[in-house]
Structure 1
Amino acid sequence: MNLVRSELLKIRTTSTWWVLGLISLPLWALTLLINWWQTDALASGNLGEVPAEQADRLHAAQVAENLAANLYTNGQFFGLLIVMLLGIIVVTSEFFHQTVTTTFLTAPHRTAVMLAKLVAAAGLAMVLWLVTTVLNLVFGGLILSSVDIGSHLGGGAVWRAIGLNALAYLLWAVLGVGIGVLIRSQIGATVTGILLYLGGAIGAITVFAVLAAKFGEGVNKLQVLVPSLASSLMVTGTEIPGNPPRWVGALVLVGYALVSGVTGVLITRRRDIA
């Protein structure tokens, strides 16, 4: 616990936490506005002509539980990016400020140090998830009321989406720590992480759209192998036609996090800190 408190103190005594916090708030507000518009459009049904092959997916998206789950997990896309960056910074700040030698001299058991960093990053991720979830429950309920849909907080599907959203935040923090271990440079790791997250999501959607047009819609199910898209799948309220089950997205993300975390610990134990 002392090592975890030490890691949290390192973050609290820098500007990292409040800078990322200030970035998170407007991004959360922006996505709330987008989801408000989307919820209003889906609830009203004023969507115009819809291709026959997309009709089932659209009808599923219009289900009240899915509309509620989407609002109560609002801000996930950018929120996960933020917690990934936090995980990266928890590791790379040691090399950036040249305190890593002191850390390992004070606590020579490197595995314990890395586990403390993982716990600290996960704890910060849970704080961000909790704050955004509370805001989502308040404003999401208001939006649902404005479109004449109840809160649906009594439904298990909605709470499962909220719980899986918490798991996504936790796992992306672990992934961030793994990236920070692999790339010691704070700038290099941060840029790489952003490119992998944003570029991976946008690039995958584009590539799979092309492949689906050539080989059929079934190819789209492979999108779950992309971490950022697996996260989105996890927080759907009910099963969406054409998508894999939500547990598949969770399993894929757990796999990435395990590989990242274990690799990070092993590399730190063996690598020279100089």
Structure 2
Amino acid sequence: MRLVNAELFKLRTTAIWWIMGLILLPLYAASLGFNWLSSYALVSGQADGGGADGQAQVDAASLPINIATNMYTTGQYMGVLIVLLLSAIIVTSEFFHLTATTTFLVTPRREAVILAKLGAGVIVALLVWALTTLLDLLLVPIIMDALNLPTQLGEPAVWRSIGLNALAFVLWAVLGVGLGVLIRSQLAATLILGIVYTIGTSVFQVIFALLTNYVAQWFENLQVLVPTTASQLMLSGTELPGNPPRWVGAAVLIGYAAVAGVVGTLITKRRDIS
């Protein structure tokens, strides 16, 4: 626990944590507004599925429980981006501030250092999740009332989605630490991960859509291999038509996190630190 506290102290002594916090709040507000408009379109029947299969998905998404689970996990998309970047910075800051050598001299067991960084990343992830969830629990009931829908807080599916949302934040933190080991430059890690997360997600969605339309229908189910899609799938209130089960999304995200954590630990143990 002392090593975890040390990692958190390193993060607190830099300006990056409160800069990320300032960025998170307007991004959360934008996400809440977007989800509100999307939910209004579903409730008012303005959403068009563009076909029989698409309409079935729209009809399922229009169910009050699915609108509720989507609203009560508002902030995940941008929240996990902040967690991903902060978790990577927990690693890359050692090389940016030239403290890596000192850290590994003080704690020669490198796997212990990586585990401490993973622990610090998980704590950061849970703090960001707690903040966004608290805001959701305060604001979403007001939005649900404006949509003429019950709050759905008595439904187990809502609390399951909130709990799985916490798991998603934790897994993205582990992924961030692992990727931070692979990309040692703090600037490069921030730019690469940020661009791949935001732009890359859209690019992969377009690629899978083209493959589905022009090659084979089964390519649609492979979209779950995109980490952001996998974490979104975990949170649905009911099984959505044309999508894999929720557990597939969780399995994919756990797989990415496990590989990143193991590979990151092995690379750190073998790599020369200077």
TM more than 0.5:
yes
Bigger shift: 2-11 or 151-160? 151-160
**Residue 183 in 1 paired to residue 183 in 2?**
yes
Which string of whole-angstrom CA distances, capped at 9 and with x for unpartnered residues, describes residues 133-154 of structure 1?
0101111111001111111111
Aligned to 1:262: 262
Which string of whole-angstrom CA distances, capped at 9 and with x for unpartnered residues, describes residues 12-57 of structure 1?
1111110000000000000101111111121122336842231110
The answer (yes or no) to whether the contact 1:35–1:71 under 8 Å persists in 2 is yes
The answer (yes or no) to whether the contact 1:212–1:219 under 8 Å persists in 2 is yes
Shift of 1:102: 0.9
The answer (yes or no) to whether the contact 2:205–2:223 under 8 Å persists in 1 is yes
Aligned to 2:85: 85
The change in CA–CA distance for 1:212 and 1:179 in structure 2 (over 3 A counts) is same
Shift of 1:196: 2.3
Aligned to 2:32: 32
CA RMSD of aligned residues (A): 1.2
Within 5 A, what are the aligned runs for 1:113-262? Answer: 113-262=113-262
Aligned to 1:16: 16
The answer (yes or no) to whether the contact 1:200–1:228 under 8 Å persists in 2 is no
| Partner SS, residue 103 of structure 1 | helix
Shift of 1:166: 0.7
The answer (yes or no) to whether the contact 1:200–1:226 under 8 Å persists in 2 is no
- For 1:54, give the aligned amino acid: G
Aligned to 1:99: 99
Aligned to 1:273: 273
The change in CA–CA distance for 1:49 and 1:265 in structure 2 (over 3 A counts) is closer
- Determine the C-alpha separation between the residues in 2 that align with 1:251 and 1:139: 31
Shift of 1:215: 3.3
| Runs of at least 4 residues off by over 4 Å | none
Bigger shift: 5-14 or 210-219? 210-219
| Partner SS, residue 272 of structure 1 | coil
Identity %: 53
Q: Normalising by the residue count of structure 1, what TM-score does the alignment of the two structures yield?
A: 0.97
The change in CA–CA distance for 1:239 and 1:73 in structure 2 (over 3 A counts) is same
The change in CA–CA distance for 1:101 and 1:249 in structure 2 (over 3 A counts) is same
- The runs of 5 or more residues in structure 1 that have no matched partner are none
The answer (yes or no) to whether the contact 1:218–1:242 under 8 Å persists in 2 is no
| Partner SS, residue 197 of structure 1 | helix
- Determine the C-alpha separation between the residues in 2 that align with 1:211 and 1:125: 34
Aligned to 1:73: 73
Q: Normalising by the residue count of structure 2, what TM-score does the alignment of the two structures yield?
A: 0.97
